[in-house]
């Protein structure tokens, strides 16, 4: 019954979406353009044609995320922070510790391999977020890679487990640094997250103003935040 | 079938959204519902990226392909999806933590067996 009802609703939705894609079938012939046809808005073209001169970064997505839409990125980081806080609250309040179920340690091969690979994963994550303005990647992607390194630690070699207090401190400090960079822009030029550093030469590592700086802090924040989420979910000791 | 062929990319992403919606509506296992929410998320992300795609376009990074004269795809939906993926991860993590607490309280992940929550 429930299944049939749901299928009927979804079928209705599918037909509606299909007709929306095809465009309105009433009205004058000239107005009958499809909703999403090949005619793209020129908004993106403005960024792709001028972002390199305006921000000094070859990666247009990075300049959109950090420079043009920096405030939205700050909001996104705040959403991630709220989710991590909510998760920690849900998992740690009013909860009895299950006693006597210490997980069995991993075998020697897994343990040694994990300890060997973990620093390399951290290095790769750092490489991704330091080069965010030049290559595909950036703070969020690099942070996710760093968090995958933490996941390996939680699965394979618990003795290398990062201290939760240090993770929380790192996360708070890098979030604060993001806001401070924005406030420096406010003090220097009158707008929040203004690009107050010199653009530098194109394709150089130290170029593109505040983009690499902000991406490094975002990388630290996302990495420690997702690492903390993984630790909470895997029942790590606090 | 020319409609499906013309709008293959949109058909795919809305298909993902509909499959996810079906899972959310019909399944009673909480983990499966979280997977369904993630499928909806993926479908919406795919839709946003495919709206910004330009035929034969290259990645929005100034590189050799761009210097050879190929047009770059729209960077704005890509930046938007970058945001949406991170939000999706945090939503999934929060939903899973609710599932963990529910399992501890009721001893089951089957929503039809949770007495206070039935539809």
Q: What is the pLDDT of residues A155-198, one digit of tens each?
A: 888 777 778 888 888 888 988 888 888 888 888 877 777 777 77
State residue A163's pLDDT score.
Answer: 80
Grade residue B114 by pLDDT with cuts at 50, 70 and 90: confident
Is residue B13 one of the residues assigned to a domain? yes
Chain A residues in contact with B60 by the CB 8 A cut-off are 44, 47-48, 59-61
- The whole-angstrom distance between B79's CA and the closest CA on chain A is 6
State residue A124's pLDDT score.
Answer: 93
- Mean pLDDT by runs of 10 across the 238 residues of chain A is 83 81 56 50 73 79 83 88 88 66 75 89 91 84 90 82 83 88 82 77 78 88 89 67
Q: Higher pLDDT residue, B30 or A51?
A: B30
Contacts of A43-51 with C-beta under 8 Å, sequence gap 24+, read: A43/B74, A43/B76, A44/B52, A44/B60, A44/B73, A44/B74, A44/B75, A44/B76, A44/B77, A45/B74, A47/B60, A47/B75, A47/B76, A48/B60, A48/B72, A48/B74, A48/B75, A51/B75
Judged by CB atoms closer than 8 Å, whether chains meet at A40 and B61 is answered as: no
Tell me the two tokens of residue B102.
């529910």
* CATH number of domain containing B94: 1.10.287.3510
pTM flag (> 0.90)? no
Average pLDDT on B93-118 reads 82
Is residue B25 one of the residues assigned to a domain? yes
Q: Higher pLDDT residue, B39 or A31?
A: B39
State residue A99's pLDDT score.
Answer: 53
Residue B89 has pLDDT above 90, yes or no: no
Judged by CB atoms closer than 8 Å, whether chains meet at B10 and A65 is answered as: no
- A14, A43, A84: residue with CB nearest B76: A43
Is residue B119 one of the residues assigned to a domain? no
Of A32, A26, A60, A62, which Cα lies nearest the Cα of A46? A60
Grade residue B37 by pLDDT with cuts at 50, 70 and 90: very high
Q: Quote the radius of gyration of chain B (alpha carbons, Å).
A: 19
Cβ–Cβ contact B22 with A under 8 A: yes
How many domains does chain B divide into?
Answer: 1
> What's the whole-number average pLDDT of chain B?
83
Q: Which residue of chain A has the CA closest to B103?
A: A91
State residue B42's pLDDT score.
Answer: 93
Q: Which residue of chain B has the CA closest to A82?
A: B90
Is the complex ipTM more than 0.85?
no
Q: Could you list the residue range(s) of the whole structural domain that residue B41 is in?
A: 2-56+63-113
Residues near A38 by beta carbon (within 8 Å), at least 6 away in sequence: B55
In angstroms, the first-to-last Cα distance of chain A is 46
State residue A97's pLDDT score.
Answer: 59
Judged by CB atoms closer than 8 Å, whether chains meet at A10 and B22 is answered as: yes
* Chain centroid to CA B101: 25
Q: Which tens digit of pLDDT belongs to each residue from B45-69?
A: 998 888 877 777 778 888 777 777 7
Cβ–Cβ contact B98 with A under 8 A: yes
Q: Is A59 helix (H, G, I), strand (E, B) or coil?
A: strand
State residue A32's pLDDT score.
Answer: 45
State residue A24's pLDDT score.
Answer: 56
Of A114, A193, A184, which Cα lies nearest the Cα of A155? A114
- The whole-angstrom distance between B60's CA and the closest CA on chain A is 6
Judged by CB atoms closer than 8 Å, whether chains meet at A44 and B100 is answered as: no
Grade residue B2 by pLDDT with cuts at 50, 70 and 90: low
Q: Where are the domains of chain A?
A: 63-91+108-238
Residue given tokens 């609710």 in the structure block: B98
């Amino acid at each position: 019954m429930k299944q049939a009802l749901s299928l009927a609703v979804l079928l209705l939705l599918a037909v509606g979406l299909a007709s929306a894609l095809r465009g309105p079938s009433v009205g004058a012939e000239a107005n009958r353009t499809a909703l999403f046809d090949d005619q793209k808005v020129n908004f993106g073209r403005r960024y792709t044609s001028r972002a390199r001169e305006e921000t000094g970064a070859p990666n247009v997505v990075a300049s959109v995320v950090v420079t043009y839409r920096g405030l939205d990125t700050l909001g996104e980081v705040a959403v991630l922070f709220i989710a991590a806080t909510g998760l920690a609250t849900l998992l740690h309040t009013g909860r009895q510790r299950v006693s006597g179920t210490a997980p069995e340690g991993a075998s020697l091969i897994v343990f040694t391999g994990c300890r060997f690979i973990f620093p390399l994963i951290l290095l790769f994550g750092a490489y991704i977020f330091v080069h965010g303005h030049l290559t595909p990647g950036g703070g969020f992607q690099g942070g996710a890679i760093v968090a995958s390194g933490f996941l390996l630690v939680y699965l394979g070699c618990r003795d290398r487990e990062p201290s939760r207090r240090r993770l929380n401190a790192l996360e708070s400090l890098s979030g604060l640094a993001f806001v401070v960079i924005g406030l420096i822009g406010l003090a220097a030029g009158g707008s929040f997250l203004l690009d107050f550093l010199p653009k530098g030469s194109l394709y150089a590592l130290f170029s593109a103003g505040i983009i690499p700086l902000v991406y490094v802090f975002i990388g630290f924040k996302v990495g420690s935040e997702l690492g903390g989420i993984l630790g909470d979910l895997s029942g790590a000791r606090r | 079938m020319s409609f499906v062929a013309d709008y293959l990319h949109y058909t795919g992403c809305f298909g993902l959204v509909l499959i996810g919606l079906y899972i959310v509506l019909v399944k009673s296992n909480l983990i499966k519902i979280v997977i369904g929410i993630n499928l909806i998320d993926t479908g919406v992300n795919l839709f946003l990226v495919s709206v910004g795609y330009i035929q034969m376009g290259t990645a929005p990074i100034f590189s050799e392909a761009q210097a050879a004269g190929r047009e770059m795809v729209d960077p704005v939906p890509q930046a938007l999806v970058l945001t949406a993926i991170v939000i999706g991860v945090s939503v999934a993590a929060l939903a899973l933590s609710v599932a963990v607490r529910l399992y501890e309280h009721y001893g089951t992940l089957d929503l039809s067996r949770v007495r206070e929550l039935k539809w």
